[in-house]
């Protein structure tokens, strides 16, 4: 199964935030949307980074009482691993596991076209396995008898 198939099923909605926004803004946005990451987009609309729940937790102790006033640009991860619509679920699952990430922006021709979470990947893998299992059961059930 390709990433493009997963995006067709789940949609291509991507939630973003500015590097100038505050961590307080980030928390409010993530809580309102029930999500665990936001893509950080620069003024030109290009991918500048990603900020996740983990980034917030890692920085809380360092930032102290003024954490809410710190900007996304101060804590975001600028090393963003991405996928493409043409890659397979196995390829992106391997990348996400290898780099220990739970969110993967999907980029085509330099523009973000979607976002995958580990949950999306697991659901797609389960759907594919369930489908293959049904096909195998039908095949076995209709196995021709030997004469």
Domain of residue 45, residue span: 3-141
Q: What is the pLDDT of residue 101?
A: 92
Give domain status of residue 146, yes or no. Answer: no
Residue 72 near residue 51, CB atoms below 8 Å? yes
Give domain status of residue 85, yes or no. Answer: yes
Tens-level pLDDT at each residue, the chain (147 residues):
899 999 998 888 999 999 999 999 999 999 999 999 999 999 998 999 999 998 888 888 888 888 888 899 999 999 999 999 999 989 999 999 999 999 999 999 989 999 999 888 888 888 887 878 888 888 887 766 666
Q: What is the pLDDT of residue 68?
A: 85
For residue 91, the domain's CATH number is 3.10.580.10
Q: What is the pLDDT of residue 135?
A: 81
In order of 5, 41, 77, 86, 98, the CA distances from 56 in angstroms are: 32, 18, 11, 32, 22
Give domain status of residue 19, yes or no. Answer: yes
Give domain status of residue 126, yes or no. Answer: yes
pTM: 0.81
Q: How many CB atoms lie within 10 A of CB 28?
A: 12
The number of domains in the chain is 1
């Amino acid at each position: 199964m390709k990433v493009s198939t997963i995006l067709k099923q789940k949609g291509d909605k991507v939630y973003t935030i500015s590097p100038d926004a505050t961590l307080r803004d980030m928390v409010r946005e993530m809580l309102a949307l029930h999500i665990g990451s936001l893509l950080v987009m620069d003024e030109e609309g290009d991918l500048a980074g990603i900020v996740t729940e983990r980034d917030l937790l890692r920085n809380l102790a360092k930032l102290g009482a003024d954490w809410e006033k710190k900007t996304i640009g101060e804590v975001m991860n600028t090393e963003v691993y991405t996928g493409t619509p043409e890659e397979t679920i196995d390829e992106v699952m391997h990348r996400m596991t290898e780099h220990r990430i739970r969110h993967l922006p999907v980029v085509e021709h330099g523009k973000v076209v979607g976002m995958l979470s580990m949950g999306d990947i697991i659901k797609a893998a389960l759907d594919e396995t369930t489908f293959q299992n049904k096909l195998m059961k039908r095949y076995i059930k209709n196995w021709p008898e030997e004469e």
